[in-house]
Structure 1
Amino acid sequence: MRAPRLLGMAAVVPLLAAGLMPATTAVADTAETAAPVQLLELTTSTGEATEVAEAGLEETTSAGTSGGTGVAPGLNERLATVARAASAGGVDPEADALLLTEPLEVDDFLVAGFTWTGADELPDGLDVYLRVRENGVWSEWYLNEASGAGRDDSVGVAGTEEFVTGGADAVQASVIGDAADLPADLQLALIPGQPVGEEVLEPENLDSVDAEPTAVATPEEAEDNLTSGLTAPTDVVTQAADDAAPQEGEPEPTEAATATTESAAASTGTSGGTSISPNLPAALAAATTAGSLPVPVITRAEWGANSSYMTWTPSYVTADHVIVHHTAGTNSYTSSQSASIVNGIYYYHAVTLGWGDIGYNFLVDKYGQVFEGRYGSTSAAAGKMVVGGHAYGANTGTMGISMMGTYTSVSPSSTQLTNVGKMAGWFLKRAGVTSATGSSNFTFKSTEKYKAGQTISLPVISGHRDVGYTTCPGDVGYSKLGQIRSTAQSQINAMGGSSNTKASNSRQIHLNNGWSGTASVVFYYGASTSTILAGDWNGDGVDTTARRDGTLFGFRNSNTSGDSLRTFAYGRAGDEVLVGDWDGNGTDTLAVRRGSTFYFKNSMNAGSADKVVVYGRAGDQVLVGDWNGDGKDTLAVRRGATYHIKNSITSGSADRVVVYGRTGDEAIVGDWDGNGTDTLGVVR
């Protein structure tokens, strides 16, 4: 059984006071304002129905016992709908309901999901349905099945798949089944695009609204290409990709012209014709195309991931299978809403379900926009992937990619399928897989379908239903796996193998893993004018290289020749660059120094600085190290033979001042005795 959720259910959970404020450095949708997650409680901690959960039954009962006298036209229509459903042997979420809320007016939300405690799955025969009102129109009723997802270590609570809307302002929930099977703490979470805190919707504060009867969404084959009905994304006009937006005490940028030209160049590449969502900051949109990625990928920083919600430490493992998913919902979202929807899914997975991060490695909307999901997914080394939470018991060794929308009765768009296939092919090629249409052995952790340690021959591109008892990625979505595999194979064929042949005007890098006079690894990376940096960019314990070209940075997660995994702009051409693990999460990132001001970044992405501090003097020499062994790198400044050491990324006085060596010495930093703390050395 998964651990119960510990987040309190007070009227408003003060996440804001706890410092969980959405990152101001990358706003997912400028039209979105921060709002609390709304919680609709349907059962108590003992599994008893709440007042809210039974309020809709009274209306249905009164309609059914009216004898046809004095019944409003709307109720006559409702009764007719019930009769049609009964004659067809179907289910009516109102007439057959064990629990039924009224149609309730709520604040706008983009993502919804049911959660409960006491069991990982809902009992057989107990089903939950949901319908929502978008733009004044009520949707069909949708069956919300248990997600079959979650962390392999069972951290978190049970819940349904995330239900995606195009912006809903009313909702109605139904539960069908036996009262004895009702789970404890069943609730419905309604998540806005910029969630902050949580608010329980009390019965006395709820308003019911009129709702016409609607049918239950049922599977049926749809036309192959639905792109004609989609609003085309709008191209972004690239602006200056300079350093952090000015923060308190920070001077205005002055070198925008150079950054504009270089950032625009960095954004070109194999785009696949996909535009970046127009709601993304233009300075960030320019940095989404990595040299080796087959399509632009909108990074976590770009869609506005709040790093405070990310509590799940990344773990990288060998991976050579792809699991394809869909979400659930109405499919009525616009391209400009996609980033906010991803943000809502992130909150649902990380906080509501208690996983500590989004479960998917990547998400692709119906417009073909690709979003980075789980932290570290784009920066994983070739042949590896950060373990996600997309398929319980089958997360380890797979990449999970989700098509945003419900594809039970309609088809994913051709652009969506193409970019899912390209991302799958990119991943498989780097894992050494030569056939996207083949199968290979896969060993499960533990699922309802397969025992822990059981090994089967699994298609290298599979649907979620292949590894668990779920209908995901929908009947129509599953039927499109052949098309995805075909595109993935084309991508594999199009990608050249890694080569250590010298590229034109590139730098030759010689690495030595021992103390012999011969290099252990030789490869080519960067231009002859590039500055080469080193760091552990993905937290796998292996340092690899990065290149700096003016304001542009690129990096790789393997010590081999090739293009940068991703290119982004940060800082100014004249800044001094520092490398360190500033937040102690096991990955190195960058900081730039301008005089005595330091701009720290906790991810290898463009955007504003995560922290800005003033320390020392403009003429000081700067050293980086973990001076107190807490796992976080901080600064020291050297002035002659005096060192001013700081144990936190803050302004203010030094925590320690030491005099060591001579003014003319060259200072070096290292953990010389292996005790976990860095100290000084000097070279004469």
Structure 2
Amino acid sequence: MSMIMSMRGFLTSSIGATSLGVTCAAALALPSVLPAAAASVRAERTAATGRVAKDAVPGSTQSLPLVPLTRERVLGTAPEQGLYRVDVRHFSLVGVVWDDPDTELKGRVQIRNRSAATGQWSGWQDVETHNEDHGADPGTAERAPGRVHGATAPLWVDDSDGVDVRVLAGSGTSAAPGAPDRRTGDPTPLPSGLRLELVDPGDEPPAQGPPADVSGTAALTEATAAAYAANADLVPAGALEIPELSREDTEQELIRLEGGVEAEGSVAGDAVRAKPYIGPRPRIVTRRGWGADESLRGGGFVYTKKIKAAFVHHTVSGNKYRCSQAASVVRGIYRYHVKSMGWRDVGYNFLVDKCGTIYEGRAGGVAKPVKGAHTLGFNSNSMGIAVIGTYGSAKPSGAAVKAVARLAAWKLGLYGANPRGKTYLKSGGGNLYPKGKNVRLNVISGHRDGFATSCPGKRLYAKLGTARSSAARYQGR
């Protein structure tokens, strides 16, 4: 007999009486007071600017409406909107949003930025306009009308103080600017309410000292305490990372989380424990470790029943980041997903940078079946792993692919899933499969397997076979 892999004991003890798909609020008793000196430093403001001192800046979002461009700047005859600003606060990540998430932006979005370090302008960069395939399932509370916006993918541009954006209508992202709709011959209208989002990811809070809310308050907020407690079965509250474990220690941890579930053996009539198929737990940077401002996200957590599959994504945010900046990129994506797009939290369950570092994504506990917003129609009973970058033509690093395999081997192993296997997921609705259809998928799938999209990029998608075989090997299969 194989070990029961339901994680029932773990979830019962850590989630309590929370039912499937119900938001779980938490009021938890954790260390809540910073030393007076630390609190004073966090609250310090400079006399010159009135801003919070650098190590306490939590980030910000500037939302600027786009306007029709002057005749001199119109390319062709199609509608064009844009904005040129050199009087903005510093930002490092950009995107364009609009009112209706069900309206497609058929055309082209291009951005150039002025470096705050050099004062030089970049060349024009294309921004991925098809981003609706990432998100909450249709009909769910997270996708409620009026809450969520249509949006491009975010683009990382590093520290900048000037921006120039143009949105050119056309018949699709591959169309030349100004191309008319093939059916009517008329220029394709742009979505209403186009706005430029300039995101400052802020600075990481100081790592030393007791856990503290990133906002700098002396007492932990309920949201921060809950985020810390969600991983309390693995690490102390407020840990900056969940350390890697050996295979033996991982197996022992699984036994503990399972509540000591045993499989009956026949050796001398004694009960023997079946050897589980699970990969060694990898190192994971926690939300506190990458500097999540827990006050941004929606309250509580939403869980699904189990984890049957992993969908691999790329963030389409560009590859021009250093690994030392990856935490800032994660904070920027988090803020863009929540403040600009209207999601309850960052959509992905995990993110992986090109150096192979793994980051906790959506809050709720890295070992738990947290419901994300990553693969529209297939967010239930799955997890989303996003590799930070754009991998249509660029090859993903070996370190990133290895990290995906290690993470999948561990997390899927918690729920008894074989990385080389197939599974069935019920569609919540999308452009490939109608709502309610049971779809047979690879346990490790690419985003495009559940939705008609280019994600996770041609070059990353080609590496999923390697990730499957490596993950199965890490599990001991």
Same fold, TM exceeding 0.5?
Answer: yes
Higher Rg of the two aligned structures = 1
Deviation at 1:398, TM superposition (A): 0.9
| Residue 328 (structure 1) aligns with | 316
Question: For 2:281 and 2:442, how far apart are their aligned partners in 1?
Answer: 22
Trace 1:412-491 onto structure 2 (pairs within 5 A).
Answer: 412-434=396-418, 436-491=419-474
Deviation at 1:180, TM superposition (A): 5.2
Question: For 1:296 and 1:464, how far apart are their aligned partners in 2?
Answer: 24
Task: Label 1:466 to 1:286 Cα distance change in 2 as closer, same or farther (>3 A).
Answer: closer
Question: For 1:242 and 1:143, how far apart are their aligned partners in 2?
Answer: 40
Could you tell me which amino acid in structure 1 is paired with residue 193 of structure 2? Answer: D
Trace 1:497-512 onto structure 2 (pairs within 5 A).
Answer: none
Question: For 1:335 and 1:129, how far apart are their aligned partners in 2?
Answer: 25
Deviation at 1:144, TM superposition (A): 1.8
| Residue 346 (structure 2) aligns with | 358
What secondary structure does 2:407 align onto?
helix
Equivalent residues, number = 346
Task: Label 1:288 to 1:343 Cα distance change in 2 as closer, same or farther (>3 A).
Answer: farther
Deviation at 1:174, TM superposition (A): 2.4
Structure 2 residue corresponding to 1:349, chosen from 294, 315, 337: 337
Q: Give yes or no for the alignment of 1:307 onto 2:291.
A: no
Structure 1 residue corresponding to 2:189, chosen from 181, 186, 189: 181
Deviation at 1:101, TM superposition (A): 3.1
Deviation at 1:337, TM superposition (A): 1.7
| Residue 150 (structure 1) aligns with | 135
| Residue 54 (structure 1) aligns with | 69
What secondary structure does 1:107 align onto?
coil
Asked whether the 8 Å contact 2:290–2:327 carries over to 1, the reply is: yes
Question: For 1:116 and 1:358, how far apart are their aligned partners in 2?
Answer: 19
Deviation at 1:119, TM superposition (A): 4.5
Asked whether the 8 Å contact 1:100–1:172 carries over to 2, the reply is: no
Q: Give yes or no for the alignment of 1:108 onto 2:108.
A: no
Deviation at 1:440, TM superposition (A): 1.8
Task: Label 1:306 to 1:248 Cα distance change in 2 as closer, same or farther (>3 A).
Answer: closer
Once the two structures are superposed, residues 491-520 of structure 1 have per-residue CA deviations (whole angstroms, 9 ceiling, x without a partner) of: 2228xxxxxxxxxxxxxxxxxxxxxxxxxx
Question: For 1:104 and 1:483, how far apart are their aligned partners in 2?
Answer: 45
Q: Give yes or no for the alignment of 1:36 onto 2:60.
A: yes
Trace 1:595-606 onto structure 2 (pairs within 5 A).
Answer: none
Q: Give yes or no for the alignment of 1:190 onto 2:198.
A: yes
TM-score after normalising by structure 1 = 0.46
Asked whether the 8 Å contact 1:97–1:175 carries over to 2, the reply is: no
Trace 1:384-403 onto structure 2 (pairs within 5 A).
Answer: 385-403=369-387
Question: For 1:333 and 1:399, how far apart are their aligned partners in 2?
Answer: 25
Asked whether the 8 Å contact 1:345–1:358 carries over to 2, the reply is: yes
Could you tell me which amino acid in structure 2 is paired with residue 122 of structure 1? Answer: E
What secondary structure does 2:356 align onto?
coil
Question: For 2:472 and 2:93, how far apart are their aligned partners in 1?
Answer: 33
Deviation at 1:133, TM superposition (A): 4.3
Deviation at 1:160, TM superposition (A): 2.0
Deviation at 1:97, TM superposition (A): 6.2
Trace 1:577-588 onto structure 2 (pairs within 5 A).
Answer: none
Structure 1 residue corresponding to 2:155, chosen from 140, 160, 163: 163
| Residue 410 (structure 1) aligns with | 394
Could you tell me which amino acid in structure 1 is paired with residue 468 of structure 2? Answer: R
Task: Label 1:119 to 1:351 Cα distance change in 2 as closer, same or farther (>3 A).
Answer: closer
Question: For 1:346 and 1:161, how far apart are their aligned partners in 2?
Answer: 12
What secondary structure does 1:167 align onto?
strand
Structure 1 residue corresponding to 2:80, chosen from 96, 99, 102: 99
Structure 1 residue corresponding to 2:111, chosen from 99, 120, 130: 130
Deviation at 1:374, TM superposition (A): 0.4
Task: Label 1:95 to 1:31 Cα distance change in 2 as closer, same or farther (>3 A).
Answer: farther
| Residue 100 (structure 2) aligns with | 118
Deviation at 1:137, TM superposition (A): 5.1
Could you tell me which amino acid in structure 1 is paired with residue 460 of structure 2? Answer: G
| Residue 64 (structure 1) aligns with | none
Asked whether the 8 Å contact 1:166–1:331 carries over to 2, the reply is: no
Task: Label 1:168 to 1:241 Cα distance change in 2 as closer, same or farther (>3 A).
Answer: closer
Deviation at 1:475, TM superposition (A): 1.7
What secondary structure does 1:476 align onto?
helix
What secondary structure does 1:485 align onto?
helix
Once the two structures are superposed, residues 398-450 of structure 1 have per-residue CA deviations (whole angstroms, 9 ceiling, x without a partner) of: 1101011111121111111110111111122222123x233221211111221
What secondary structure does 1:423 align onto?
helix
| Residue 327 (structure 2) aligns with | 339
What are structure 1's unaligned runs of at least 5 residues?
A: 1-23, 43-49, 62-93, 196-238, 251-265, 268-282, 495-684
Once the two structures are superposed, residues 352-381 of structure 1 have per-residue CA deviations (whole angstroms, 9 ceiling, x without a partner) of: 21112111000011121111000124141x
What secondary structure does 1:294 align onto?
coil
Once the two structures are superposed, residues 65-123 of structure 1 have per-residue CA deviations (whole angstroms, 9 ceiling, x without a partner) of: xxxxxxxxxxxxxxxxxxxxxxxxxxxxx668632536543433222222112342415
Asked whether the 8 Å contact 1:167–1:333 carries over to 2, the reply is: no
TM-score after normalising by structure 2 = 0.65
Question: For 2:391 and 2:56, how far apart are their aligned partners in 1?
Answer: 27
Task: Label 1:240 to 1:428 Cα distance change in 2 as closer, same or farther (>3 A).
Answer: closer
Asked whether the 8 Å contact 1:417–1:484 carries over to 2, the reply is: yes
